[in-house]
Amino acid sequence: MEKINLKDLNYKELKDWVLNQNWKPFRANQIAKWLYTKKVDSYDKMTDISKDIREILKKHTQFDSLQLVSYKKSTKDGSIKFLWRLKDKNTIETVFIPEDNHNTLCVSTQVGCAVGCKFCFTTKDGLIRNLSTAEIVDQYLQVQRFVGLEPEKRISNIVYMGMGEPLANYENVKKSIQILTDKNLAGLSNRKITISSSGIIHQILKMYNDKEFPQVRLAISLNAPDQKTREEIMPISQTNKLQELMKVIDNLPLKAGYRIMLEYVLLKGINDRPHHAHKLAKLIGKNKKKFKVNLIPFNPYPEALYERPEEKDILLFQKILWDYDISAFIRWSKGQDISAACGQLRKKEISNLIKI
């Protein structure tokens, strides 16, 4: 019988599993404390749990679902890219991003991606499979364990912006967020978690109508101000039309203080001209306070189809949006020297990374 991973279980499921072992209910809180608060790396370190119970845990459950193969740390900004091997020998990547007053983790949700955005490195492999809940949660737990548990190293922000389309792995992403935000488990703030989607309309609606899906922040990879341009660089727009997407997100019910982020990768000569900025402003329309635009200068990689715009063009694009009173910020990507910047995550030869 295949061992279960307790990190696949939300709090209710963990309690039910404990009761099914004929253990006292408080054992669920003990186990949760060691997994999510202490972030121990083995059952042997759960010192207030009897040895007999620890032996049962070892026999019937697996601990970590990821094996750290290698990592690379940026000499420019301290970002760290991790390469993990999964049980089936596939690999995924995760990026730790230190900020001035917080630390962010960019997690993957799939091995590869089927969306096919032409500017993204990850899609080169196509989609191999979805990650399990435990494989998503373990990225957070193992990176936090790796960088340390000191307060200044605490990961407070999680962005589902790594390999894969999060909403194409709906149930496992949902449960991972339940685990990460449950005060009895990881206890992170809903406001500090962001799901980035290419704009799968029916899945966005499903998420906002799902009472069991914790409301987190939503980012949409927009990347173009008109259907023709978006369809050229994001084939998913053929079935998820831009105008319909904008209508849907314009009418989403948001909690106070929440805004939808529109991610816009600037591609030289493709979507970065002044007339594109004016079109984008008109597309956003009157409900501009509901949105924030993140402008992301393209990060070139070998054999890329596109180029990075000139800095003056990036700044002009931002200025035009601000002139429309649209909040627009340039996201100068971190981790570029280790191929960890936005759109660059893809498994590479292990020899290109620092061996453990």
pLDDT tens over the chain, length 356 residues: 678 999 999 999 999 999 999 999 999 999 999 999 999 999 999 999 999 999 999 999 999 889 999 999 988 889 999 999 999 999 999 999 999 899 999 999 999 999 989 888 877 778 999 999 999 999 999 999 999 999 999 999 999 999 999 999 999 999 999 999 999 999 999 999 999 999 999 999 999 999 999 999 999 999 999 999 999 999 999 999 999 999 999 999 998 889 999 999 999 999 999 999 999 999 999 999 999 999 999 988 878 889 999 999 999 999 999 999 999 999 987 656 656 555 555 555 443 443 33
Dig out the tokens for 174 from the structure.
């949902």
Q: Which two tokens stand for residue 117?
A: 């955005």
Structural domains in the chain, sorted by start: 4-62 (1.10.150.530), 67-355 (3.20.20.70)
Cβ–Cβ under 8 Å, residues 163 and 112: yes
Backbone angles phi, psi at 260, to 5 degrees: -90, 130
Q: Are strands 155-160 and 103-106 parallel, antiparallel or unpaired?
A: parallel
Catalytic residue IDs: 93, 342
Flag whether the pTM goes above 0.75: yes
Phi then psi for residue 110, to 5 deg, are -145, 160
DSSP conformation letters of 89-142: S-EEEEEEEE-SS-EEEE---EEE-SS--TT-SGGGG-EEEEPPHHHHHHHHHH
Residue 230, H or E segment: helix 227-233
Q: Between vectors from CA 109 to CA 106 and to CA 114, what angle results, nearest 5°?
A: 115
CA distance 313 to 221: 20
- Residues 220-234 pLDDT 10s: 999 999 999 999 999
The residue type of 317 is F
- What token pair was written down for 60? 């019937």
Strand partners, 83: 70, 93
* Residue among 84, 35, 88, 86 at smallest CA distance from 57: 35
Instruction: Give the chain's mean pLDDT.
Output: 92
